[in-house]
Amino acid sequence: MKNKLFKRITASAAALTMFGTALLSEFPVLTARANSSITYIKYSWNVEEKKLETTQIATADYNNVTGGGSFPTEPLSGTYYIQNSLNVYSFREVKKGETLNLIVPEGVTLNFTKGFGCGYDTDGKYATLNIFGGGKIIATGEKNCAGIGGKDNEANGIITIHGTTIEATGGKHAAGIGGGEGGQDPDEKGEKSKITIYAGDITATGGIDGAGIGGGDEQPGARTYIYSGKVNASSLKHGAGIGGGDEEGTFGIHIYDGKITATGGEGGAGIGAGEEGGNLRQKDNGGGINIYGGEITAKGGGISEKDNVHAGAGIGGGWDEDMSGTIFISGDTTKLTAQGGIGAAGIGAGRGEWPFPNGDMKGEITIECGDNSDLKIIGGSGGAGIGAGFQGNMQGKAYIFGGIIKITSGYEAAGIGGGREGTFDEGGEGGTVYIGGGDITIDLLSNAPQLADSHAIGRGALDEKTGTLYISKDNNKTGRCMRVDYRLFREKEGWSGTAKAGSRTDKCHAENDVHITVCNHKDVNGKSGLTYTIPKNDNYHHKVSCKYCGYSATVEHESGTCPCGHQEDTKYDVKVNTKSGSSQTYYEPWTETCSVVNGKTYFCPECEHKPSDMRFIGWAVNGDTANLKQSGDPITVNEDKTLEAQYADLYNITVDNTIPDDNWISVSPAKADEGDQITVTAHPYGRYRLKSIIIKNNGADGEVITTANAEPGQNKFTITMPAADIYITAEFEIDKSFITGASLSLGGEIGINIYLSLPDFILNDSGAYMTVQGPNDDEPVKKLVSGLEITENGYLINYKTNAAQMGENVSFRLYTGENENIPIWSSDQKSSYSVFKYAVKDYLDYVSEHGPRDLFDLVDTMRSYGTWAREYLISTGKVPDTTAAVDDPVDVLDVSTSDLSSYKLVKTGDIEGVSVSLILESKTALRIYYSGDAVDVTVKDFKNGSVQFNTGTKGGKNYVEILDIGAPELDEQFTVTFGTLGTVKVSALSFAELALSTYENDESKSELCNMARSLYLYFDAASHYFEYLEG
């Protein structure tokens, strides 16, 4: 009866189982807690579908700023709703370590004339700002302070914009939106410093040395994410439009969509680094410049002649610094214009400073856009379209795998590669370039014929190192075949020709304009570049190759006259005939015909059609019914062939009609083909249940194919028809009630839970009932089966005992509505009981012997507690000495008063005669006694929640009784307030502490002290076990 016990936690109880600043009078404070609900839009980015999504948020928990020119002066947190337009004439900021939700609805303008702070300071503390609403914010930072973001000596905290119009202007040395001057670098991972723009109309202007959006002076740009909206970002001088401040790069820029215009200040990139900055960080680490879509215009500072010695790239590095890190551009519909300042690359490095060897491109640039993209990349005079700036080398790598791309070099610089070499032979070297896709046009510009030796891909003018171009399908990383059209230098219109495969690199490493695209195996004038070769002794294939891209493959000849000149061989028809309908009424036959080359192999197909009452047995080829072919069999075709489907009767299914005791089975359908699904239904009679279904070959005496045992209540089986006639019989047996498991609930009492599987004849009997009788009952207690709780483990019947009754049996009986006693079987159904008896001790014995090990400590301490609770209650006359024992008592030695010191009762005020006792003879309850007149009492738990309690008097004292304390709750501290007299803070373990501190050395109180010690160990083990279960 103790097999197949299970572990779970009951829903009713923890269970042990097996199965501010004042303002001027003319500017009164006008913030108040709002009473009515407001709504605003929150944006998010759907990563899977790559689109912006909106959620409408409603809240009544906000501060309402009603106007009058006022705004709270203290650092802010929480939610603020700006009801009317107002000007704020002093600097305000978000509190470090807190979040501010600032809601500016449509039609409202909030003007911070000294800027608005959301900073990340040198102590690592940061603020979080979320801006919502369709209104407008104007923020103008003071010197060293961002318009929105960090103040002096701070980077920005976390700033997120959800659709608001923003005009943010940084003070000198600070960003429009982003960092203040100096301070700690932004958090590189974006966990404490980040700028996110989901939507809105954003104009951000950095002060001198500050980025429009990003870093302040000598500060990298924090991670920046732009998902949509209109963004216009620029720097007055030395900063990037989006990215780093003076002398710094970025921790990562990610643009997904939107209309973006980014203009660097003098020496700064449009998107990327500020002047003398070039470290863009790596895409794989969350950094780099990453463009996934949108319409982007990025112009480096220094485009005009007055700034021509301080110029930054359109996208990439700033003046006088090498570019490192990654630039990644993708998107099927991306529209991009990237223009470098004078001497800077369109995408890559800024202009190098004479005579120092700066302006190198040392990073990686990847472009893999789609066929609907449009990219225009323009190098400033002396700077490459993609690559290095003036006087710079391309030491890094460029990968172009897709996109419609127009590249225009700066004068005397490469289209992709090095900048123009300097006066003292600085720079100009080409780098490593992979081209495996896209449609790329490179126009070279030169203002002096004698310097016209810059390459489309490779070196700038005057240098000799061309770099390496990987354009062959074997080495360009995509395997695509690429074609190169070229236009000789100074030819203005059209293309001069198409390079042969072996000359593609030479044409790119030359002073030519080039057009590179995926090869269509034709030259620029449409002439085919394919040549064909027919191998000897192979009548079915030819080799084709393209002289423009190096494509080469061996393929099958095309039908008819092949382009290679091969004439197709003789073919024969193969006709396949099948039937449908039924054996009595055939429909029109199905016929399919294909042509097969003489001598080729044809494989017999699957039979797609058959009569509903027949099965397919094979194909008769040209009438040969004696040698049927099966699906997949090969046929050599040397003449016309006809395959005629052959059919036979379905296999028979016979059911046993001699099953005794009025039990029977039925089957559907009565005939079937191999692989069909057959349903067998059992029809038990009376108190019988299906035991098993038996399938035999060819009749009652045939070989048993399979036997399927039925689960309780299961009367249907689905079987797969074999390739034979079958006979089906069944075995039935009397349906039984049996134990499926047992568990204990450790509440104020110990609950014995018995789970049963009940037969249908009991469940269908509205009068069927069970009785349960335990040590607290004089007569059995009747419970209708229809009222039992149904759990995943069976029907539940339970009984509750106190701690001293763990050895006492509880008796369970089952009856029909006619009062017939029905046996209860063990879980293995080998033993039956008219009365099933079970005690808490039975459960503890089983766990001690069989495990699980996780329960050993709890079971051992539970045994000890039950033993000493019995001894104690017998010694006090609360229970008879005939109460069944769990174990022989053994002194508990490993708990002392000091172990329980934290549970000591604490009293405040003037409450007289306070004492405590623990009620164990029913539900575990805690009583607090006091002297004098009864007063009003309240009881709160440790969460300040109200607690159910009773009051009464005993022995001339009043008491408060806290009810039903479960095992894991014995340490829970309750606060009992006695009117105006004072309070008592107490737990059930306070009784144990009091008992030990008073009687620890008193031999006459050994039962009490052992009970107190075992109670503490029981609580400790129960707490650890349930913490383990909760993970």
Q: State yes or no: pLDDT of 690 exceeds 80.
A: yes
Q: State yes or no: pLDDT of 419 exceeds 80.
A: yes
Distance CA 716, CA 713 (A): 9
Q: What angle do the packed helices 1006-1029 and 988-999 form, to 10 degrees? A: 140
Of 260, 262, 264, residue with least CA distance to 246: 264
- In Å, the largest CA–CA distance within the chain is 121
**Which CATH number belongs to the domain containing residue 1017 in this structure?**
2.60.40
Of 764, 899, 735, residue with least CA distance to 824: 735
Same domain, 837 and 769: yes
Distance CA 267, CA 263 (A): 11
- In 264-310, DSSP assigns E strands to 271-272, 289-291, 295-299
Same domain, 631 and 668: no
Q: State yes or no: pLDDT of 489 exceeds 90.
A: no
Range of the domain at 677: 662-734
Q: How confident is the model at residue 945 (pLDDT cuts 50, 70, 90)?
A: confident
- Please check whether residue 210 lies inside any domain of the structure: no
Backbone angles phi, psi at 346, to 5 degrees: -65, -50
Distance CA 450, CA 511 (A): 12
Q: State yes or no: pLDDT of 608 exceeds 50.
A: yes
Q: How confident is the model at residue 355 (pLDDT cuts 50, 70, 90)?
A: low
Q: Is the pTM of this model over 0.95?
A: no
Q: Evaluate whether 680 touches 669 at the Cβ level (below 8 Å).
A: no
Q: State yes or no: pLDDT of 612 exceeds 80.
A: yes
Q: Evaluate whether 87 touches 67 at the Cβ level (below 8 Å).
A: no
Of 303, 395, 384, residue with least CA distance to 357: 395
Count: domains in the chain = 4
Distance CA 105, CA 62 (A): 14
Q: Evaluate whether 414 touches 471 at the Cβ level (below 8 Å).
A: no
Tell me the per-residue pLDDT of 228-248, one tens digit each, with 9 for 90 and over.
999 999 999 999 999 999 999
- Please check whether residue 341 lies inside any domain of the structure: no
Q: Which two tokens stand for residue 78?
A: 């929480």
Residue with tokens 């030519």: 512
Q: What is the pLDDT of residue 35?
A: 44
Distance CA 98, CA 76 (A): 8
> Of 706, 734, 762, which closes a domain?
734
Ranking 16-20, 85-89, 1007-1011 by mean pLDDT, the lowest is 16-20
Tell me the per-residue pLDDT of 732-763, one tens digit each, with 9 for 90 and over.
988 888 898 888 887 777 889 999 999 989 99
What sign results for the dihedral spanned by CA atoms 31, 33, 36, 40? positive
Q: 355 preceded by cis ω (within 30°)? A: yes
Q: What type of residue is 926?
A: L
- Please check whether residue 576 lies inside any domain of the structure: yes
How far is C-alpha 77 from the geometric centre of its chain's CA atoms? 30
- Please check whether residue 199 lies inside any domain of the structure: no
Q: Which two tokens stand for residue 201?
A: 């109309």
550 three-class SS: coil
Same domain, 700 and 787: no
Q: Which two tokens stand for residue 825?
A: 């079987």
Cα dihedral 351, 267, 213, 141 in deg (nearest 10): 170
Q: Evaluate whether 368 touches 398 at the Cβ level (below 8 Å).
A: no
Q: State yes or no: pLDDT of 777 exceeds 70.
A: yes
Distance CA 842, CA 865 (A): 16
Q: How confident is the model at residue 37 (pLDDT cuts 50, 70, 90)?
A: confident
> Of 649, 676, 709, which closes a domain?
649
Q: How confident is the model at residue 60 (pLDDT cuts 50, 70, 90)?
A: confident
Q: State yes or no: pLDDT of 792 exceeds 90.
A: no
CB neighbour list of residue 530: distance below 8 Å, 6 or more residues apart: 521, 544, 545, 546, 563
Q: What is the pLDDT of residue 24?
A: 25
> What DSSP string describes 114-160?
T-EE-EE-TTS-B-EEEEESSSEEEEE--TT--SEE--TT-EE-EEE
> Of 710, 734, 758, which closes a domain?
734
Q: What type of residue is 831?
A: S
Same domain, 901 and 1008: yes
- Please check whether residue 1013 lies inside any domain of the structure: yes
Backbone angles phi, psi at 614, to 5 degrees: -140, 170
- Please check whether residue 693 lies inside any domain of the structure: yes
The secondary element (H helix, E strand) that includes residue 746 is strand 737-746
Tell me the per-residue pLDDT of 837-848, one tens digit each, with 9 for 90 and over.
999 999 899 888
Q: State yes or no: pLDDT of 19 exceeds 60.
A: no
Same domain, 750 and 814: yes
Same domain, 715 and 822: no
Distance CA 896, CA 898 (A): 5
Q: What is the pLDDT of residue 357?
A: 66
Q: Which two tokens stand for residue 562?
A: 């092949």
Q: State yes or no: pLDDT of 376 exceeds 90.
A: yes
| Mean of all residue pLDDT scores within the chain | 89
Tell me the per-residue pLDDT of 252-295, one tens digit each, with 9 for 90 and over.
999 999 999 999 999 999 999 999 999 999 999 999 999 999 99
Same domain, 629 and 722: no
Q: What percent of the chain has pLDDT over 70?
A: 94
Q: How confident is the model at residue 27 (pLDDT cuts 50, 70, 90)?
A: very low
Same domain, 921 and 1010: yes
- Cα-based distances in Å from 753 to 16, 799, 832: 10, 7, 19
Q: How many CA atoms lie within 13 A of 195 on its CB side?
A: 37
CB neighbour list of residue 555: distance below 8 Å, 6 or more residues apart: 541, 542, 544
- Cα-based distances in Å from 644 to 205, 575, 614, 898: 82, 8, 15, 95
Ranking 288-297, 530-539, 692-701 by mean pLDDT, the lowest is 530-539
- Please check whether residue 565 lies inside any domain of the structure: no
Tell me the per-residue pLDDT of 320-349, one tens digit each, with 9 for 90 and over.
999 999 999 999 999 999 999 999 999 999
Q: State yes or no: pLDDT of 942 exceeds 90.
A: no
Same domain, 719 and 757: no
Distance CA 963, CA 950 (A): 8
Of 743, 750, 744, 745, residue with least CA distance to 924: 750
What sign results for the dihedral spanned by CA atoms 174, 180, 185, 188? negative
Q: What is the pLDDT of residue 571?
A: 82
Same domain, 811 and 751: yes
- In 379-496, DSSP assigns E strands to 386-387, 397-408, 416-417, 432-443, 457-458, 468-470, 482-487
Q: State yes or no: pLDDT of 917 exceeds 60.
A: yes
Same domain, 915 and 972: yes
- Please check whether residue 249 lies inside any domain of the structure: no
Backbone angles phi, psi at 970, to 5 degrees: -65, -25
Tell me the per-residue pLDDT of 627-646, one tens digit each, with 9 for 90 and over.
999 999 999 999 999 999 99
Q: Which two tokens stand for residue 815?
A: 């009856």
Residue with tokens 């102590």: 123
Strand order in the sheet with 974-978: 906-909, 982-986, 974-978, 937-940
Q: What angle do the packed helices 840-850 and 856-875 form, to 10 degrees? A: 150
Tell me the per-residue pLDDT of 173-204, one tens digit each, with 9 for 90 and over.
999 999 999 989 999 999 999 999 999 999 99
Same domain, 728 and 744: no
